[in-house]
Structure 1
Amino acid sequence: MKLKPVDSISGVAPKDFLKNYFVKGHPVIIKDFISKDSACWQKWSYDYFKEIAGNEKVDIYGREEESQNHAASPPIGRMTFGEYLDKISAAPTEFRLFMFNLLKLRPELKKDVIYNDVTGGKVLQWLPYMFFGGEGSATRNHFDIDMSHVFISQFQGAKRIWVFPNDQSDLMYKLPYNFHSIANLKTSSVGDYPGLEFLDGYEAVIHPGETLYMPAGWWHYIQYETEGYSISVRALPNSVSEKLKGARNLFVTRYFDDTMRKIFSDKWFHYKINTAKRRANRALKKRG
């Protein structure tokens, strides 16, 4: 697996960002996507979050290897938001909050974030999601079901993110009718998954105030270097074909997979695994 560092930019004009990154589908770290004048930099902390929403019940997510047959991993438990923040502050843990919408629960928080929209208005600022994780936790390798462009901004701690173009899906051992791979990019062996040796992607480590732009449909494997949290916003895909693919994923593919899993259970899962491996072997043969 080859990983190149992601370039960083700041002060970029929307026309230049669209031309050099958005249209070309090239990942980049943006240093000033969240304005330094945003109130969040002074107001937000775990203590503040516990004060305004500490009693809210939240779903907790853990290791995802045990739920490979699901398009989205099911939660492993529930606790209050305050209890969760105390837990990730105390020691490393694999516990994460997935697409936790604190900004919907407390909409006044949206006013605390000022975006420097480098897309000239394409970013859906009204649809932010927060992601929390303990030190050492990680998401499984996946791409977003709606095929949107993603801007993930770090607010506390550090994240290491590996990103890959969607055309490497077969080498990823992508499960058909799902949006994740069965291989773990960090722990799976090349002996078991030889396609991993030929992956060619990028590595970014983002810290507070930095935003990673991930082009539409790109794979990403997110690792929490420390405990922390980020906010993700998105922009719609560029092309009609990407929009149609995202709509098909959302409204057809995932429900078809749910139905087949209910009917055929483990047989369906084994069929998908075998198909993923067969496609990877075919991709390897094409490489010579």
Structure 2
Amino acid sequence: MRLSPVQRIENISSEDFIKNYLKPSKPVILKDFAAPESPAFEKWNYEYFKEIAGEHKVNIYGSEIESLDRIASKPIGQSTFSEYLDLITSSPTEHRLFLFNLLSIKPELKNDIIYNDVTKGKIIKWLPFMFFGGEGSVTRNHVDIDMSHVFITQFQGIKRIWLFPWEQSDLLYKLPYNFHSITNIKEPDFKEFPGLKYINGYEAVIQPGETLYIPSGWWHYIQYETEGYSVSVRALPSSWLEKWRVFKNLVLIRNFDNVMRNLFKEKWFDFKVRKARRKANRAIKRQKSFQI
């Protein structure tokens, strides 16, 4: 497995961003996608969040290793938002918030972020998502089911993100009819999953104020180096191939997998694992043939 650092840029024009990163699907860190004068950088902090939404109930998510056969893991508990913020600031924890969107609960907060939209209006600014995690928490290696282009802006703490192109899905042991890998990408077992020896990707470490652009269909594994939170906005896929993948993922694959899992349970999961291994072995043979 080889990882290259993601390039950092600033003051790029829309034309150059679209030409050099959006169209060729190349990740990049934008240092000024969220304008430095955005009120959020001065206004937002944990005490402020407690004041405006501390009593809201939130679902707590932990390790996703135990839920490999599901598109999303189940919550492991519940607390108030204020209690959760106290938890992640007191000690390292794998606990994360998923699908708790403070920006939907308090929509006025959306006005606190000013975007330098380098996509010429493709960004869906009215639909941001917010993510919180404790130091050491991770999000398993996955592709987003809606195949959107994603812009993740870090506001508190540091995140380390590994990125891999869609074309390496087989080598990553993509679970068929799902959108994540069955491998532990952080501590790879090359004997158990030899395909991982052949993957090439990128590593991005994003600091507060920086934004990582993740192209449509790219795999990403996320680790919280410290506790923190980020905001992501999306741009819809533009090519017909990407749009077909969106329809297939949301309408066909997801529903088909739910039916088969309910009918066959563990047998269906075992079948998918065997299929992932077969596809990886074929991809390894192709890699070896290229090297001859």
* TM > 0.5: yes
Contact 1:23 1:238 in 2 (8 A): no
Identity across aligned pairs (percent)?
A: 62
Mapping of 1:182-221 within 5 angstroms? 182-221=182-221
SS in 1 for 2:99: strand
Give the deviation of 1:99 after TM superposition.
3.3
CA distance in 1, matches of 2:160, 2:236: 24
Matched, 1:124 2:148: no
Corresponding residue of 2:56: 56
Q: Which residue number corresponds to residue 281 of structure 2?
A: 281
* C-alpha deviation, 1:238, in angstroms: 2.2
How much has 1:15 moved relative to structure 2? 0.9
Deviations 1:147-191 (A, max 9, x none): 110000000000000000000000000000000000011123101
Q: In structure 2, give the amino acid aligned to 1:230.
A: S
CA contact (8 A) 1:152 1:231 kept: yes
Superimposed CA distance per residue, residues 21-77 of structure 1 (whole angstroms, 9 cap, x where no aligned partner): 000100000000001111101110000000000000011110000000001111111
Q: How does 1:34-45 map to 2 (within 5 A)?
A: 34-45=34-45
Q: Which runs of 4+ in 1 moved over 4 A?
A: none
Q: Following TM superposition, by how much is the alpha carbon of 1:267 offset from its aligned partner in structure 2, in angstroms?
A: 0.2
Could you tell me which runs of 5 or more consecutive residues in structure 2 were left unpaired when the two chains were aligned: none
Within 1, Cα distance between the matches of 2:210 and 2:250?
Answer: 29
What does 1:7-86 align with in structure 2 at a 5 Å threshold? 7-86=7-86
In the superposition, the TM-score normalised over structure 2's length comes to 0.98
1:145-224 matched pairs, under 5 angstroms: 145-224=145-224
State the aligned residue count: 288
Q: What CA distance in whole angstroms lies between the structure 2 residues aligned with 1:130 and 1:138? A: 15
Asked if 1:228 is matched to 2:228, the reply is: yes
Q: 1:239-278 to 2 correspondence within 5 Å?
A: 239-278=239-278
Q: Cα offset for 1:250?
A: 1.0
Give the residue type in structure 2 aligned to 1:44.
W
Asked if structure 1 preserves the Cα contact closer than 8 Å seen for 2:198 and 2:287, the reply is no
TM-score, scaled relative to structure 1? 0.99
Task: Tell me which amino acid in the other structure corresponds to 1:179.
Answer: F
Q: Which one-letter code corresponds to 1:150 in the other structure? A: V
Amino acid at match of 2:92: P
